[in-house]
Amino acid sequence: MKSGLSLHERRRLLTDSELQSVPWLAHLLSDERDRIVPELRVSEAAPGDLVCRIGRPATYWFGVIDGLLKMNTVTDDGRAITYSGLAAGGWFGEGTVLKRESYRYNIQALRKSRVAGLPVDTFHWLLDQSIGFNRFVMNQLNERLSQFIGVVGAGRSASPEQRVARNLAALVNPVLFPGVGEVLRITQQELAYLAGLSRQRVNEALRTLQERGVLRIEYGGLRIVQAQALRRADF
């Protein structure tokens, strides 16, 4: 059941274990870390909660401590388009935060998720002060650009197997989502939301990918056996 308070009103300081899951903190010097940690906040998003909303100004740079989010938008004719999923360890929206723009997409929780945030002004302070942080952000931007180029290059002609494979490859990207681990915890319905397919079609695609030795379907998730094959999606 959702609380009557907004995500912003439910925010709190991160615990020590939550701080350990923030990948870019390891790139900071000790004095930079001491300055930043007290400004980090985390909130628990319920399924369906919007973390970012189209047209709202960016006030935080966000990251997923655990859970699963999706990035999507709605076209002028009312069609919903999902760009990508956002898994554990992933920080997102740095392009919008860099330009201090309003969001051009929605970020919505697909399941109960803990989402951390760093204030925009603090994000810019780190850019001005920290070489390690700059390298982390540049690496993020480069990796995300490569990911989106792959999606655009695939076009709308991709088969269901290719669409499922590319969504899975994005979610197990170790640069963007270092907190995922060996098994991707995702349901077939969640994957259906991300791939824009029916749950039945996702089930068939996963069976095909399993038969080809790309992944194994396990209780509560998927074990990726051939990540390179997922990224190529040449089947």
pLDDT digits (tens, 9 = 90+) for 174-220: 999 999 988 999 999 999 999 989 999 999 999 999 999 999 999 88
d(CA 229, CA 108): 29
Calculate mean pLDDT across residues 91-117.
96
Residue extents of the structural domains in the chain: 16-150, 158-232
CATH match of 16-150 with 3.30.470.20: no
Calculate mean pLDDT across residues 43-48.
96
d(CA 134, CA 186): 31
Calculate mean pLDDT across residues 22-30.
97
Q: Among 189, 183, 213, which Cα is nearest to 203's?
A: 189
80 vs 189: which has the higher pLDDT: 189
Task: Specify the range with the lowest mean pLDDT, choosing from 28-42, 104-118, 156-170, 175-189.
Answer: 156-170
Q: What is the pLDDT of residue 5?
A: 82
CATH match of 158-232 with 1.10.565.10: no
Residue 177 and residue 171 in contact, taking contact as beta carbons nearer than 8 Å: yes
User: What percent of the chain is predicted at pLDDT more than 70?
Assistant: 95
Confidence of residue 150 (pLDDT cuts 50, 70, 90): low
Confidence of residue 1 (pLDDT cuts 50, 70, 90): very low
Confidence of residue 149 (pLDDT cuts 50, 70, 90): confident
This prediction's pTM? 0.90
Q: For the chain, give the number of residues.
A: 235
Residue 123 and residue 97 in contact, taking contact as beta carbons nearer than 8 Å: yes
47 vs 76: which has the higher pLDDT: 47
Calculate mean pLDDT across residues 158-167.
90
Q: Tell me what the pLDDT averaged over the chain comes to.
A: 92
Calculate mean pLDDT across residues 10-30.
97
d(CA 105, CA 201): 26
Identical topology for domains 16-150 and 158-232: no
Q: Where are the beta strands (DSSP E) in the chain?
A: 41-45, 50-52, 60-66, 69-74, 80-86, 91-92, 106-109, 113-119, 183-184, 215-218, 221-224
Q: Which amino acid is at 184?
A: L
Give residue for tokens 């790309």. 214
Provide the 3-class DSSP secondary structure of residue 234. coil
183 vs 4: which has the higher pLDDT: 183
Can you read off the two tokens belonging to residue 174? Answer: 């170790």
